[in-house]
Amino acid sequence: MNKLVIGNWKMHGSPADLWDLAHAVQRDGLACDAAVCVPFPLLPAAHSALQASPLRWGAQDCSVHAGGAHTGEVSAELIARLGARYVIVGHSERRVALGESDALVAEKAHRVLAAGMTPVVCIGETSAERDANETATVLKRQLAPLARVLGRALSAVVLAYEPVWSIGSGDAAAPGVIADTLGLIERTLHFQAGMHQGAMRVLYGGSVNPRNAAAIMACPGVDGVLVGGASLHPADFLDICRAARRMANDREMVVIQGS
């Protein structure tokens, strides 16, 4: 399976930026599965700029409601009509600033799947929770509603482990920490949902850049990365995609040599 690189533009970007990215992809090619998740007003521009390219696009949130009288909300169905492939749900910035609960995040993931798209569900601990040795407790709590609400459909989710203390700090989690935490996530999913290794894609997010992307994606269990600030720069984003391709090639070489 190819590595997956998803860019989260947060509240940045413009139609011109999307066309710049599309031209860079056309010029340099795309070395892996990749997408950019943009603010709602940029979804039509993403459709126009990227529809002829291998780069997919998505949104950064959706409503928990399927439709109806919910002023200011944007349903997963409306997002899907603009050709989006992915929707990020449960990002820590929304969990913290808007008080989104684990149960709400699971319901949003359900809405995304029902609309025919892939939810990218973010989980992760804060620095205080890490320092209190509560990482396992927090991740199990965040995963439990997903297993309960989605059941077997959980395998269609992309899970993004984003330690909150790493996001925007410039310091990604150490490879050993990433590997250990993803091992914990794997064991938790096996216990909560009966899922086995490789049943779903698991990404790492948090201060990913072209300098550390290869080391991160070399960690056992990492199927790709969720990229913040670096995804706003086409050259950096495509460098990370090339690193993803190299990791996939290296893994294929190991399999061939061991067969």
Backbone angles phi, psi at 237, to 5 degrees: -60, -45
- Give the residue numbers of the binding site for substrate: 8-10, 168, 207, 228-229
Q: By the 8 A CB rule, do 123 and 142 touch?
A: yes
Supply the pLDDT for residue 198: 78
45 to 5, 71, 87: CA distances (angstroms): 20, 23, 16
Q: Domains of the chain (ranges plus CATH)?
A: 4-258 (3.20.20.70)
- How far is Cα 219 from Cα 182, in angstroms, rounded to an integer? 9
- CA distances 155 to 146, 159, 169, 199, 200, Å, are 11, 10, 31, 6, 5
Residue type, 85: R
The single-letter code of the amino acid at 158 is V
DSSP secondary structure of 207-243: S--TTTHHHHHTSTT--EEEESGGGGSHHHHHHHHHH
For the beta carbon of residue 128, count every other beta carbon within 10 angstroms. Answer: 10
Q: Detail the residues annotated as belonging to a binding site.
A: 8-10, 168, 207, 228-229
- Residue 182 has which token pair? 């993803």
pLDDT at 250: 60
Q: What is the pLDDT at residue 196?
A: 79
Average pLDDT, consecutive stretches of 10 residues, N- to C-terminus, the chain (259 residues) = 95 98 96 96 98 97 97 98 98 96 98 98 96 97 97 96 92 95 94 85 97 96 97 98 82 45
Residue with tokens 């009966």: 194
Give residue 149's pLDDT: 96
Catalytic site residues?
91, 162
Where do the H-state alpha helices sit in 81-174?
Answer: 92-97, 102-114, 127-131, 135-150
DSSP secondary structure letters along 16-60: HHHHHHHHHHHHH---SEEEEEE-GGGHHHHHHHHTTSS-EEEES
Question: pTM to 2 decimals?
Answer: 0.94
Q: Which has the closest alpha carbon to 51: 29, 33, 35? A: 35
